[in-house]
């Protein structure tokens, strides 16, 4: 399977450097334009299925791509939704540090088995994403799959498919509407 991983277009939370996590924020105007530009760029590519996270920022990006791929099925998969960052959702790093100093000091978003209160651990997200990738590989062997997801999820995918450690995974960053290709 050839897997193309796309991060959704820009949101206002991205601009303000806020933790979006599982908060269902929409694309901003720039994000919509980025999605349209990406869709045009991918117009001549061939895909067997387009997969998206259920969050609207990813779905809206995928829907723009589907404008040029009307006959390609669009599948929403919960496994690829963004990490839930619990009490950090909607906050900037500075706000999270001020509001939750002890939690912030633990660097819990960078730990394998720790998370902000009410959030998911990296291990939980890793397991969820691995399940999603296994479903895709089983259902679409020898196919070309485009997946629209999120920043943290794209790091997890990159870690799994490149055989990186959990520490190394944070060195990878996919920008809004950037694409990376993997062969599985």
- Catalytic site residues? 8, 82
Distances (CA, A) of 65 to 1, 126, 139, 147, 162: 20, 26, 21, 11, 26
Tell the residue number behind the tokens 């050839």, with chain if given. Answer: 2
How many angstroms separate the CA atoms of 133 and 146, rounded? 12
Side-chain-facing half-sphere of 37: CA atoms under 13 Å:
13
Q: Please tell me whether residue 87 adopts helix, strand or coil conformation.
A: helix
Question: Is the separation of the CB atoms in 174 and 151 below 8 Å?
Answer: yes
Give the Cα separation of 127 and 181 in Å (integer). 21
Question: With the C-alpha atoms ordered 98, 99, 100, 104, is the resulting torsion angle positive or negative?
Answer: negative
């Amino acid at each position: 399977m050839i897997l193309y991983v796309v991060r959704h277009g820009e949101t206002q939370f991205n601009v303000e450097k806020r933790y979006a996590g599982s908060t269902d924020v929409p694309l901003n105007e720039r994000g919509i334009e980025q999605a349209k530009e990406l869709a045009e760029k991918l117009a001549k590519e061939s895909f067997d299925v387009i997969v998206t996270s259920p969050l609207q920022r990813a779905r809206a990006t995928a829907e723009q791509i589907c404008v040029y791929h009307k006959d390609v099925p669009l599948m929403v998969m919960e496994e690829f939704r963004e990490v839930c960052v619990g009490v950090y959702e909607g906050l900037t790093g500075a706000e999270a540090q001020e509001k939750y100093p002890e939690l912030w000091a633990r660097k819990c978003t960078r730990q394998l088995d720790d998370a902000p209160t009410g959030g998911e651990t990296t291990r939980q997200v890793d397991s969820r994403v691995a399940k999603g990738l296994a479903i895709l590989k089983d259902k679409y062997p020898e196919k070309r799959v485009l997946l629209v997801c999120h920043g943290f999820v794209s790091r997890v995918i990159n870690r799994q498919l490149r055989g990186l450690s959990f520490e190394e995974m944070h060195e990878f960053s996919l920008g809004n509407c950037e694409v990376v290709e993997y062969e599985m």
